[in-house]
Amino acid sequence: MVAIFVDMGETLVRFKPRFHESIANAIREEGIEVSDIEVFKALMRHLGRSCFPHPQFDGLSQIDFKDLFYELNLHIPNDIIKKLENKNYLADEYELYDDAIPFLENVRELGFKTILVTNTTKKVNKIIKDLNLDNYLDGIIASCDYNILKPHPKIFYYAKKLAGSEGIHIGDVYEIDVIGARRAYMNAILLDRLNLYPEIKNNKVTNLHEALNIIQKLELTQT
């Protein structure tokens, strides 16, 4: 293993508000009582079934609110669904998590390549530049450039080809990052900063420092 594959949103970069929080807030504005965690769980199950970007969404899939409400076990009138589908839920404000740069620096010191593997729009280039992440990345595999989304294994095969090696993937969504990586026969670490997956016990961390410890242990077992 000579490469680390890492997600961007809610792994290295904190978006304010988070994607699922924006959607939960919009749903509550329509008078529908849902919690952030309920929306997160339903949304990630929904997105976990999406493998190809919508032509009009610049590298991302379109949220099917009918399916999302099905996952929430809610029957919602079509006029509300249409209203929700016409809103933008992508945050304009973002910042690095405190552990992002130390993690990337340590990965480089250990001699690993770092490849960003992310479902994103073309805005990824601005985000990377704004946060100086380009100084720490050896390559970028973005859904907007390859017309394919995690959890499809092909996006991880692209990442492995770019790195020239196998590796381990780190991301914050089990249904997208972990399942997707495993479909490509890769090891994966779930980064669960908000304890959204209490049921997951193995290869789960709450910060990138813990992820680095797992990476070092895996590397030792392979040498």
Instruction: Tell me: do 113 and 185 sit in the same domain.
Output: yes
Tell me, yes or no, whether 77 and 113 share the same domain: no
pLDDT of residue 3: 96
| DSSP for residue 214 | H
Both 10 and 51 in one domain: the answer is: no
Q: Same domain for 64 and 111?
A: no
129 and 202 belong to one structural domain: yes
Asked whether residue 106 falls in the same domain as residue 211, the answer is yes
My answer on whether 72 and 98 are in the same domain is no
Q: What is the average pLDDT value for the chain, to the nearest integer?
A: 95
pLDDT in tens, 91-108: 999 999 999 999 999 999
Q: Does residue 204 carry a pLDDT above 70?
A: yes
Within the chain, residue ranges assigned H as helices are: 19-29, 36-47, 65-71, 78-85, 100-109, 124-130, 143-146, 153-163, 179-183, 208-222
Domain CATH code at residue 215: 3.40.50.1000
Same domain, 79 and 117: no
Q: What is the mean pLDDT of residues 25-36?
A: 98
Q: Quick one: pLDDT at residue 218?
A: 79
Tokens, residue 157:
């095969």
Kindly tell me if the per-residue pLDDT of 56 is higher than 90: no
Could you give the number of structural domains in the chain?
2
Q: Which range marks the domain in which residue 75 is found?
A: 17-85
CATH number of the CATH domain containing 50: 1.10.150
Does 127 share its domain with 192? yes
Are 48 and 150 in a shared domain? no
pLDDT bucket at 199, cuts 50 / 70 / 90: very high
- 123: part of which helix (H) or strand (E)? none
The C-alpha R_g of the chain, in whole angstroms, comes to: 17
Same domain, 62 and 150: no
pLDDT at position 217, please?
A: 86
Checking if the pLDDT of 223 tops 80, the result is no
Q: Which pLDDT belongs to residue 82? A: 97
Looking at residue 80, the DSSP 8-state letter turns out to be H
Q: Where are the alpha helices (DSSP H) in 74-121?
A: 78-85, 100-109
Stretch 134-147: mean pLDDT, rounded? 97
Please give the model's pTM, rounded to 2 decimal places: 0.95
Q: Are residues 65 and 168 in the same domain?
A: no
pLDDT attached to residue 2? 82
